[in-house]
Each structure stands twice: as C-alpha cells, then as structure tokens.
Structure 1
C-alpha cells in the first residue's frame, strides 16, 4: 500500500494527526500488512494498572465510570467509547462517548500544559448508545448513535454550546466519522453486517445542517475503483439508507474511521479488516486482513482507529488480546500495548494529544465486564515523531 511519503504534523485547529502517504501505482495493489517487530520493541510486564507497554512508556488512569474524576466534582460516564483530543490553549481536552442505551451522550476531561486534569464535564445528554464519531476541522466532536436510524450529534468539546442533532448526515446505525478538509467531506461507517461507507458533503463547509449524503459504489472485490452515488432519502424510512442505491458496496460491520493526506482508513469488525481508500486516485484496497497474515494474526477484533504524527496507524481491539496494535508506514503490524485482566471488555477511544506525546484510550467495561466499570487511561513515552 506504499505509505512512504509522510506528513509529520498535526491538523491545525483539531487534535487529529496527519500522516500517511499515497498510492502511486494506480490499479496495482500491494499485499496487506504483515506481522513483524514493532518500532518500540516487545511488551513488558503489566504495570500497576494492568497495562503492558514497551520499555520507556508508562500509564495512568484518568477516569473510572461512576467515580469522580480526580480534581473535579464530575462523575465519569459508563461504557466509555470513541474519543478525540482538541487543543485548548497550551493544554488540551479529551472527549469520550458513552455507549449505553438509553442515556449515552459524551463527556470531556480538560488538561493543562503539564497534563494535570483541570476539569471534567458533560457535553452531550439525552442520546442513545454513542459509540464512535470524529473531530471536525472547526473543533467540534461528532458523536454517533449506534442504533437503527441513529443520529449524528455535533457537540462542543468546551461544553459551552449545546449539542445539535444533524439529521442531514443520515439516519442509520452510525459508528465513526472522519473529516476531509480537501474535498470538504465527512466520511462515515455503518455498524451492520451489510453496512455501507458514506460521505456527507455539506452545502457550506463548517455547517453540517444541510448537504448531500452519498454512498460508496464498487464491485465485490477487495481492491478496485469506486464512485459515489447520492442517497435519495437520508432519513432512512421506510427504506434503510444502505438499501437505496443499487451497487452500493457492502462492508461487514464498519467501525473506526481516520482521514489523512488524501487517504481514509476504516475498519470492519465482522472480517477483521482495515480498508484503505485513496481518494485522489479513486481506488481502494486492504491495508490489513487477519486471514491473510503469515502465522498468528496479532490484530483481531478490529475496532477504533487513529493515526500518529509518525505515520503509524493505531487500531484498538474489541476483544482479541485487549491490545492496541499499530501498522507502520512500512506495512508491519505489531502490538503496542495490552490491558490484562479485562477479558470481558474492549479497547476504545484511542486518540493522541495535539503534540502527539500522549495517547488516551479506554477499557469500556473494565475488569468486571460491566458498563459501569469502564476505565480511561493515558500513556506517555517516547512516541516517534
């Protein structure tokens, strides 16, 4: 897949990291990523929080479900899921969804320049099963409902402005979203076994109140070319959005989604795949498929995905070995961390601080397997730039 030409910078005004490279061979496709030594070496013994990390890295717990966030009066939400970071002066904010139904919503934790927690608060209430989402270039968080005919909510990470429902972005079983400032599009995954991959084209970039919802059309192969087709009825009733366009490509359980450098990556949990779409070339291929690796696949239960300034992709596992694995620009897949003693949980919400030096994530159901036992972590260490 030749992600060789890297952009080592952060997206200005958002927390999302820019990285990546391009497909340069048109219709010629490379084999998906294969297991190999990771850039940080082997995992060490579990630390005091049960997290196994490479040498030089450390973890801390920043929040636990139904417990007060340290230094604040705010009780952290149940079942923490998708998340993102946003620059806040010299500090930053980490936002996190709550995947419960009813209830759901999203919360935020604020940090100063030294990484000290200075606040925690609610940014979305009254929604359902908020799973993943995505950051926008205008510094809002799109929180997605993973229910039939669910909505996308646009929220304020600072908690000042009220969250706004965005029905023009379609009503379906939403999972993740990723904004593309070049094409002025927001890409979205659908978490069903016969789901589709969408893009929303706002009438005015920066305003998600109106626009056009489109679905990706392609053949049944795992690589090829694609086109976009407009979904006639984004409301999805009586006909679901995924069934309105002939030739819409089906994906087995869409999960995480990440955009950088003319490329969008997304995961499908039903077949343990990471897909790569080259938007400039109009082509797609597999970046990872656990059935095509040599030996035991290191990454299974693929779920949320994010990127680092180095060009590495970080993919969280729903089950599997409770790991976050990375795929390097040289197409090597390897574990980066493992949470022990949480076999009934899943890893969610990986996101880097704006400077790329801290990684946040959650164990959604903790060691007990209950949504009330979620744990949100921070990892620091010598992340490569």
Structure 2
C-alpha cells in the first residue's frame, strides 16, 4: 500500500454532528487510525484492523435470500426493522437497474432478500429519509429520484426533485430540505424543500450559488423538469457554483458533506455560516473520493473509486486513515457504505469485484463487524 501523506488547508471550522473542528485546527493530515493499522488480507481479500472481521453477504448473479443479487451494486443504506435491520443497494446498470434489499435477523443471519425498485436505469447513489424510505437516484440524462419502501410499499418517481444526472441525496431534518449532488464535470449542489416535510411529491428546487470567497446562497431553479431540448438545470442560474463530478452526500450537525471525484475533494457546506469549504483538497493520496457516510461520533467514512480500494476515516481532530482495504480489485470501486442501526456493522460493495468488468456481474457486497466508534 502506498503511504498516505497530505495536508489540506481549511478556511473555516466545520461542525461534525456534535463534535467541532475548532478554528485552531489548521490542517487535515494522514495519521494513525483510531482502530490501529490494517492487518494482512483475510480469505476474502479484506485488510482490516485488529478486532474487526469481515464476510461476503452477496455476489452479483448468485442467490441470496431467495433472489439473484443484482449487478453493479452501488449506493446503499441501512434501516431498522423490528429486532433486525435491512440493507438496501442500488444497481448501476442501464434499463434494468433498480434496487434490492437484504433483511437481516438480530443475530446477523439473512432472513430474506427482495426487489424494492425495478424498471429504472443506472441507479447510482441515493439517501435514506427520516421516514424510512430510500431515495434511489438515476445517473442518466434527465434522471429522476425514485422514493422506495424498504419496509414495504410502492416505489414512486419524484420528478419535483429535478431531472438531471443525479448522484446522491442527504436529508437535513433540521431545515427540512434534501441536498442532491450531480455527477457532471460542471455539476451543481441542489437543495429540495418539500411543500410538506415527508411528502416529496411537490416542492422547490434550489441551486447553490457563489457570492464571494467561501460565501454562498441558494437560488431557485426556474425549470426543475426541463425537456430534452431545454436548458439543463445546472445551466439555468448563471451564478450557480459548479463542482467537478459530484458524488457522495451526508448531512450531520448542521453541515452537508459531499465529495467531487473530478478534483478529489471533500466539501462541507456549513448551514449556519452559509459557506462551502474543502476539508480535503485533493492534493494528497486519498484517491477517487466517492460515497461518504458518517457516525454520531463525528467520524466520516469515505469510500474510494479506484485508488487503493480503501474506506478511509476522517476524524473530528483532522486525521485521515484507512480502515479497510480490498486487495486484488484495482478495476473496481467501493460503493454503498452504511452502518447497521446499532453501529457495529458496516456494509459496502465492490461494484465490479475481482473481475473488473464493466457490466458489474462480478459485484460483491460485504459486511465488516467490529468496535466502530459511535
């Protein structure tokens, strides 16, 4: 593994879900992981810290819980369900993408698996809602957000959330809005404010706009559902701020964190200060920043698309370090990191597995169990 050394300047303090990056913290840098160094790869090719164990829970094209697991597993989330929990996963393939779910019993065994969305295309990332639905996002021209029901119910398209090349979604219950990333080289960060919180059938779509320095503001997108020949959402407001390849999105403690793979940056939108700051500026060796999630402790977990095929932790005190690495899968990417409701298990996928083929039929979905900080 290449040694990770980097420093990135921060222009503002950033709040982490109850923990604070104080003004005195001047940089984010590689350091010792709070879990210790990675050990040798296990039988599944996972390198983990001492005290952590991993297993494969599903493989694309193979039976799991009564269904064939989908190809190219991508964005995911966990939902509590009785004494167990559910992990949902998108399928990033054309025309037959959709999403599936695995229901786990309290002891971690698999009870069943089932489809929760079909007939959609290139379902990349998404986001969980406070009312226990999964927003599955289409990463296609004029793509839509589909609200699905992991606990049971009918999936519905939510065109009011915009027609563009969607990537991820993050719910902000404090301000009753949902942040949306866009996977374009000049993509934008959007904010959808439902007319009624909990009902995504109507609402207002805004785009983040630049003022001066790190200061930003939101302006309404005139036509959130443009036709094929109409001006795309990211080009409708001249002051819109653009990000190169928007990817993962996570909200916690007044801050929306999102990644941009084109410039390898992790951004933080501070809702109180109305600023956007790069907390990791891409000058180091954290490669291919992609999906992102977090914990109440304030820790962020960033998955790599390529790079060393690692999941890295970014701690509130400014340390970045790998917490998991997949060996022998350089042609793949890590997707869908999500913690079980009790915080003891981390789920994620290798979209193309050891094969590296573009159809994603070699996808593998994993579980890591251990003493994660909560």
Residue of structure 1 in register with 2:110 after alignment: 117
Report Cα offsets for 1:218-237 as digits up to 9, x if no partner: 1585xx11100000000133
| 1:284 Cα offset (Å) | 1.6
Residue of structure 1 in register with 2:269 after alignment: 277
| 1:42 Cα offset (Å) | 0.8
Change (3 A) 1:367 1:288: same
Report Cα offsets for 1:20-66 as digits up to 9, x if no partner: 545776xxx96452111111111100001100001110100000000
| 1:308 Cα offset (Å) | 1.8
Matched, 1:151 2:112: no
Selected match of 1:301 from 272, 288, 303 = 288
CA distance in 2, matches of 1:144, 1:308: 23
CA distance in 1, matches of 2:21, 2:38: 32
Where does the alignment leave 5 or more consecutive residues of structure 1 unmatched? 7-18
Residue of structure 2 in register with 1:189 after alignment: 181
Q: How does 1:113-262 map to 2 (within 5 A)?
A: 113-158=106-151, 160-219=152-211, 224-237=214-227, 238-262=230-254
Matched, 1:263 2:252: no
Q: TM-score, normalised by structure 1?
A: 0.90
Residue of structure 2 in register with 1:329 after alignment: 316
| 1:310 Cα offset (Å) | 2.1
Report Cα offsets for 1:314-361 as digits up to 9, x if no partner: 000000000001100001111111001111100000000011100000
| 1:290 Cα offset (Å) | 2.3
| 1:309 Cα offset (Å) | 2.8
| 1:311 Cα offset (Å) | 1.4
Q: TM-score, normalised by structure 2?
A: 0.93
Matched, 1:311 2:298: yes
Name the count of aligned residue pairs: 359
Change (3 A) 1:353 1:226: same
Residue 33 of structure 1: SS of its match in structure 2? strand
Matched, 1:383 2:372: yes
CA distance in 2, matches of 1:53, 1:236: 46
Question: Deviating runs (4+, > 6 A) in structure 1?
Answer: none
User: Is the CA contact (8 Å cut-off) linking 1:32 and 1:289 kept in structure 2?
Assistant: no
Change (3 A) 1:21 1:226: farther
Where does the alignment leave 5 or more consecutive residues of structure 2 unmatched? 1-11
User: Is the CA contact (8 Å cut-off) linking 1:3 and 1:330 kept in structure 2?
Assistant: no
CA distance in 1, matches of 2:54, 2:281: 29
Residue of structure 2 in register with 1:10 after alignment: none
User: Is the CA contact (8 Å cut-off) linking 1:101 and 1:129 kept in structure 2?
Assistant: yes
Measured on the aligned residues, the alpha-carbon RMSD in Å equals 1.5
Report Cα offsets for 1:187-222 as digits up to 9, x if no partner: 00000000000000000000000000000001585x
Change (3 A) 1:364 1:285: same
CA distance in 1, matches of 2:267, 2:162: 22
Residue 81 of structure 1: SS of its match in structure 2? strand
User: Is the CA contact (8 Å cut-off) linking 2:74 and 2:89 kept in structure 1?
Assistant: yes
Matched, 1:77 2:70: yes
Report Cα offsets for 1:115-145 as digits up to 9, x if no partner: 1110100000000000000000000000000
Report Cα offsets for 1:248-270 as digits up to 9, x if no partner: 00000000000011111000000
